[in-house]
Amino acid sequence: MIFPRQIGGIALAALSVSACPRSAPPMPDRPSTIAAPAGRSEIVESIYDGGLKNGWQNWGWTPVEMKPSVPAMVRFDQYGGWMLSKVGLGGNFGGLVFRVKEPPGEGEFLEAHLVSVAGAMLARVKVSPDDRTDVGDGWTEVYLSMDRLNPGGVPFDRVVLQSFRPYGTEPVPIDKIALTAGSPRTAPPQSVASVSGPTTSRRVAMSIDCRAKATKISPLIYGAVPDKDAPPFGVTVGRWGGNLTSTYNWEVHAWNAGSDWFFENRDAPPFTQFLQENAARKTPVALTVPIMGWVAKDKSSFSFPVSLLGPQEKTDPYRPDVGNGNDRNGKPIATSAERAYIPITPAFVKRWIEAIRKEDAKTGSRSVAMYILDNEPMLWPSTHRDAHPEPTSYDEIVQRAIEYGTAIREADPEAVIAGPAEWGWTGYMYSAKDMANGGTAARPDRRAHGDLPVIAYYLKALAEHDKTTGVRVLDVLDVHAYPYADGVFSDAADPNTAALRIRTTRMLWDPTYVDESWVKEPVKLLPRLHEWIDQNYPGRGISIGEWNFGGARHMSGALATAETLGRFAQFGVTSAYYWTSPPVGSPGMWAFRAYRDYDGKGARFLDWFTPATVEHPGQEGLFASRDDSGKHLVAIALNFSPSETILAHVDVSSCGNVESAQAYTYQGAAQGFTPATANAAGTTLMQTLPAYSITVLDLRLGDGAPPVK
């Protein structure tokens, strides 16, 4: 994907587009401290006052520029908003107060709401003139009482300011955001489950079939780009990947940022450091190797110097001679790859693998579990157009796979090799050469190759190479999976986006689900990949080399993540790598913990996937697993509704009697999973699944449990 990257837990802040200075009006003076207007009490929790305060964090979702001791500059175009979060926030508050300086004549456009610890949106309150007090120099102070924002007194940990109508792109200064003191309540807060209005409940039939064929679950499906400073959350393999790795020079530890940041060479973390960090965690590595033919020659060169190629559309604000490669009219400028790169051959990669295996021999362990053949080759002509301006073709990706895969096999005969690490829908179906020459309708490159989708052809061609030469250069088919619907891959968590985020996971598995995006047809990714492998190169595994459905800080993102991990287990995926890592303490992180450490003591989803069914797939989910003995069963039940409790009737009669049962439930609270009552009797389990929740069921079965088969 074309967005800023992070490798090995080392944040590349300088490469983050959102972190760079933007063109904006001069920063206004900060509003002075003025006595509180009548009707509100004193501040007890400062959120932003010339900077974030008291542990509050910026959770997006639109661009916000924050500089020390000045107001924040917030963009509200495209229904934008600023979400501020503090995990573990507690207290009794009277209201929300903030100051804003809007351009004259804009009228009202702001609204505010709170988000419960379960991730549910509370009351949306539009700011009106009655909520404002003029505090001078164009600033107004807004006060919204908790009686309006949170009449039920629900525990919350997020504050959101957003536009409720279309608004321009000019940033809006905002400062002095705070919560004020409240009066003691006479009644206890209502439950988190009721935050979205009256909670309803319904009975749902579910079943687990212990007599059906079980499938082994690969531990590599719980992969990510691990954050070296974060506490462990169950990642089983660390991926070294992303746009930067297409240009990684292992000999000088440098790479080029491509279109993500002005096609500049940068200092890169040594790959040895990444291997060592993962070895310390006892996790192997999936290593992306460059096969595009060019890698960064040093740590400072760049591809589009203004001094040589003329004025450009944008320049690096820190290096004015570094252009973005487009002229002032936005037209791409040609350059020479030699400005920033050196050419490589398969021998370059072979030496790298040999160096890794030499170090492995010293420790007696394998550090790399999988070698991935580069990253998103059909996007090379855009992401890395300075080095690879020509459109990538069918023949090129096959030939490069053969040449570089052979080099890897020679250096490491037991290597597991994956490719082509393609980005998404059009990259599965067509080549970049197709898209540059008439698009999907004309598709000249595809027609010249039997009109096969490019992934199907790739498999077929490599199978023929294997048969002809006896050299296997592909063990695992690797593609990336992101949602295509607008707004889903973001931090947006309004009710419509949250619901769409969860529905969109159906693109992975449901042949009846028509993707709610420009794709407009069933993606059915996992069944489709299995079909392509069976038809063209039987025996290959499946890797989802990057995936993320957004919303990691919201319960909808947690549910989408939990659903996705369950589908990977169900469809026998070999490996999968979340991009990059869910934030520490976020709902997305706890979704991983559902499968890897739900009790805080290492309890996890087990090793054999056991088929399960639910009455309304897509409204709720159920995934089951057993251990080798067949007597230990762990299931994960999902309730996708933000307002409806499910009374699950789980039939486990095919598994024998339940001797003991324990449940753990997560609804978005900072403490993660909490023990819950599991109501098991004989061969039936009756379980309450709260709204917007993940519930883990840990069952011990009697002697009558059928063996795993």
Residues in the chain: 709
Is residue 648, in this structure, part of any structural domain at all? yes
pLDDT at 103: 81
Q: What is the secondary structure of 490-540 as a DSSP string? A: SS--SHHHHHHHHHHGGGGT-TT-B-TTTT-SB--HHHHHHHHHHHHSTT-
Biggest CA–CA distance in the chain, Å, is 85
pLDDT at 86: 86
Is residue 80, in this structure, part of any structural domain at all? yes
Residues 115 and 208 in one domain: no
pLDDT at 410: 98
Residues 64 and 204 in one domain: no
- Tell me: the pLDDT tens digits for 602-634? 999 999 999 999 988 889 999 999 999 999 999
Is residue 459, in this structure, part of any structural domain at all? no
Residues 37 and 165 in one domain: yes
The whole-number average pLDDT for the span 459-479 is: 98
Residue 138 sits in a domain whose CATH number is 2.60.120.430
Residues 82 and 205 in one domain: no
Whole-angstrom Cα distance, residue 575 to residue 544?
6
Residues 62 and 132 in one domain: yes
Phi-psi region of 552 (alpha: psi -120 to 50; beta: other; left: phi over 0): alpha
pLDDT at 662: 95
- Tell me: the pLDDT tens digits for 54-88? 989 887 667 888 999 999 999 887 667 898 988 77
Residue with more model confidence, 572 or 116: 572
The whole-number average pLDDT for the span 563-568 is: 98
Chain position carrying tokens 């002229």: 327
pLDDT at 707 over 80: yes
Q: What is the secondary structure of 624-665 as a DSSP string? A: EEE-TTS-EEEEEEEE--SSEEEEEEEE-GGG--EEEEEEEE
> 257 and 247 in contact (C-beta within 8 Å)?
no
Residues 129 and 206 in one domain: no
Q: What is the secondary structure of 272-303 as a DSSP string? A: HHHHHHHHHTT--EEEEE--SSEEESSSS-BS
Residues 617 and 649 in one domain: yes
pLDDT at 32: 42
pLDDT at 415: 98
Task: Give phi and psi for 642, each to the nearest 5.
Answer: -80, -5
pLDDT at 560 over 50: yes
pLDDT at 107: 76
pLDDT at 105: 72
The whole-number average pLDDT for the span 685-706 is: 94
Whole-angstrom Cα distance, residue 677 to residue 658?
14
Residue type, 275: L
- Tell me: the pLDDT tens digits for 266-314? 999 999 999 999 999 999 999 999 999 999 999 999 999 999 999 999 9
pLDDT at 230: 67
Chain position carrying tokens 């007696």: 364
pLDDT at 120 over 70: no
The whole-number average pLDDT for the span 586-601 is: 96
- Residue 5: band (very low, low, confident or very high) from pLDDT cuts 50, 70, 90: very low
Nearest to 507 by CA among 571, 453, 457: 571
Q: Which two tokens stand for residue 415?
A: 């290597």
pLDDT at 682 over 60: yes
Residue ending a domain, among 192, 227, 247, is 192
Helix (H), strand (E) counts: the chain: 15, 40
Percentage of residues in the chain having pLDDT higher than 70: 90
Q: Which two tokens stand for residue 611?
A: 């088929």
> Quick one: how far is CA 342 from the chain centroid?
33
In 10 A of CB 649, how many CB atoms?
15
Residue with more model confidence, 229 or 99: 99
Is residue 471, in this structure, part of any structural domain at all? no
The whole-number average pLDDT for the span 542-559 is: 97
pLDDT at 119: 62
pLDDT at 328 over 50: yes
Is residue 377, in this structure, part of any structural domain at all? no
pLDDT at 11: 30
pLDDT at 589 over 90: yes
Residues 66 and 174 in one domain: yes
Query: What DSSP state is assigned to residue 305?
Result: B
Poorest-pLDDT segment among 446-455, 490-499, 560-569: 490-499
pLDDT at 186 over 80: no
- Residue 227: band (very low, low, confident or very high) from pLDDT cuts 50, 70, 90: confident
Mean pLDDT (the chain) is 89
Residues 184 and 74 in one domain: yes
pLDDT at 220 over 90: yes
> 673 and 666 in contact (C-beta within 8 Å)?
yes
Poorest-pLDDT segment among 254-258, 445-449, 701-705: 701-705
pLDDT at 449 over 50: yes
- Residue 645: band (very low, low, confident or very high) from pLDDT cuts 50, 70, 90: very high
- The SS3 of residue 470 is coil
Q: What is the secondary structure of 226-250 as a DSSP string? A: --TTSPP----EEEE-SGGGGG-BT
- Tell me: the pLDDT tens digits for 25-41? 333 344 444 344 444 56
Q: Is 650 exposed, middle or buried (0-12, 13-18, 19+ CB in 10 A)?
A: buried
Is residue 369, in this structure, part of any structural domain at all? no
Range of the domain at 124: 31-192
- Residue 199: band (very low, low, confident or very high) from pLDDT cuts 50, 70, 90: low
Whole-angstrom Cα distance, residue 293 to residue 390?
13
> 678 and 662 in contact (C-beta within 8 Å)?
yes
Is residue 177, in this structure, part of any structural domain at all? yes
> 675 and 707 in contact (C-beta within 8 Å)?
no
Residues 110 and 208 in one domain: no
pLDDT at 31: 43
pLDDT at 22 over 80: no
pLDDT at 566 over 80: yes
> 646 and 615 in contact (C-beta within 8 Å)?
no
pLDDT at 157: 85
- Residue 15: band (very low, low, confident or very high) from pLDDT cuts 50, 70, 90: very low
The whole-number average pLDDT for the span 213-238 is: 89
Residues 137 and 208 in one domain: no
In 10 A of CB 30, how many CB atoms?
18
- Residue 185: band (very low, low, confident or very high) from pLDDT cuts 50, 70, 90: very low
Whole-angstrom Cα distance, residue 291 to residue 432?
17
pLDDT at 516: 97
Q: Which residues contact 391 (CB under 8 A, 6 or more apart)?
A: 381, 431, 432, 433, 435, 436, 437
> 240 and 286 in contact (C-beta within 8 Å)?
yes
Residues 130 and 100 in one domain: yes
Number of domains in the chain: 2
Is residue 490, in this structure, part of any structural domain at all? no
Nearest to 570 by CA among 542, 547, 549: 542
pLDDT at 118: 63
The whole-number average pLDDT for the span 359-364 is: 95
